[in-house]
A and B are shown apart, each in its own frame.
Chain A
Amino acid sequence: MQGNSSRRGSVAGLPAGSGSALPALLLVGLFFIVPVVALLLRSVTDPEPGLQNYAALFGSGTYVRVFLNTFLVASVVTAVTILVAFPVAWMLAIMPPALGSIVFGIIILSMWTNLLTRTYAWMVLLQRTGVINRALMGLGIIHEPLPLINNLAGVTIGMVYIMLPFMILPLVGTLRAIDPMTLRAAALCGASPFAAFRRILLPLSLPGVAAGGLMVFVMSLGYFVTPALLGGTSNMMLAEMIAQTVQSLLNWGLGSAAAFVLLVVTMALYAIQLRLVGARRTGGGI
């Protein structure tokens, strides 16, 4: 493994081509690492040095509840996104390329529309007097409007819709790499379609599921607009709480502490996933 590639053109043990990564590293260092360190410092110095912000954070039932709720919402959104995205990704993987690129285009297109616009559109659809409830009541299917907004259902619907492309894209890559002959072989050996899915397709697609799932989960953790507009106060997520703490209450120390804890937990989850699935396979899906 340590053969030609590392010897050729490497400087001080760095792989070839490291130099061209410098601008990106600089960017990340300046605009990510530095602010994160500043955040950490603020959380232990504002308004005075010490751990009082962290004590306040974990001592407050509100923050703990909002933390738990944030992880609950992110988990539900990730699970539903995987379920919805899998069939689409599979369809894309086995479609003729010409047709596939059209469907692909439609999926990507949704990402080009403003997030706020899309979320407001969901409000119009989901509210009690909205299109969905009116149609269902008009058809006599329901007599009372369904509570589709200002609760977990609303947040889940709105966020799954936004997260779908981030799940579909890595999944298609993984599924395309699977040799269709393996499924045919399974069928020839007498496996039912479900058995073939469960024992062949699903295990082989796991790296893609894991990569997409992690991306969706992490993005969901920090989401602001959609939960704020489609959720109720009992589903308040951390980003909204932090914004309120910083902007309105001007308690920057507490806000920084909350943001830092979220960051640490997210990174820990990422590390655990790397352990379970392996960095190579996780990355390999994309």
Chain B
Amino acid sequence: MRKLTALALSTVAAIAVTAFSASAADFKIGLSNGWVGSEWRTQMIEEAQAAAAAWKEKGHNVEVVVQSANVDVPGQIAHVRNFINEGVDAIIINPNSPTAFDPVFAQAKEAGILVISTDAEVSSPDAIYVGIDQKAWGAAGAKWLAETLEGKGNVVAINGVAGHPANEMRVAGYREVFAEYPEIKVVNEVNANWDQAQGQQAMQNLLATYPDINGVWVQDGMAAGAWKSIMDAGKTGDIAATGEIRKDFIDLWVSDKLNSGASVNPPGVMASALNVAVLMLDGRELKEPATAGQYGNAMYLPIPFIDSSNLEEAAKAVEGKPGYYSYTSQLSIEDAEALFK
């Protein structure tokens, strides 16, 4: 009986799906996300779906199909193979590994599918990257911190997952900046695995070990944790630390007048990539081919920065949103068109 119900349900689903795809989409774009651990990723997909819907006004029917689940690398390779089997026009992927997709992207290209990675760069010559430069992201926060400290002081860094490419690039970014300030001393660097609670714990330990810290360079959600420790220790006024972009934190930033600055990795990157993808599927050519980055296939998007000068605007932008909502930005269709011939 249970099986029967399941079968009936899935048949209904199938009919619904066929009915949907029967509306003659101009382009079918597959979105693959291999990690569902944060609201940022959910927002990323929702913004991309909204961006696809926005193409309707321009006379394009862009249908997106999404695969989003916690998967291992082979599981995400399976995502790509499913898209190939289905015959999509383009695949936009937030990849779980920088290098592991080379063979399967080659197969996608053979099948005539455009592949764009976003949020994390991939080494495949058969794909392009549309997203921010993680190294510049790391450097921007470090530059703000160094300038805020007027070029001298003791700094600690709280990093994400060791060996994760985005983390390594961000680390390279801040190291390069701090190296330019001889009087800034990085006294310790720890890993807190992009986990808010671990970030808080790490900051507590660091405050206990080094009572004379002046600055903290910390990434993403860990910043909220680190700031909690700083505030608990009563050092809110004495320490400058990088922040993050979720509404909860921005509210705290405003109300407690934190001395903070945040590089923005906007969840809108996938929407930006989608707009680029549609124009490429249209046969348009980029003014400047995507050749940046260590793999020579990247097109970098601008990185917004929030500090005291524009904090109010940022707070306004996320007003009325839920606490986990991230400050975002994306290439609008017009912005994207400006990049093409």
Q: Do A and B come from one complex?
A: no
Interface residues, chain B, CB within 8 Å of chain A?
Answer: none
Interface residues, chain A, CB within 8 Å of chain B?
Answer: none
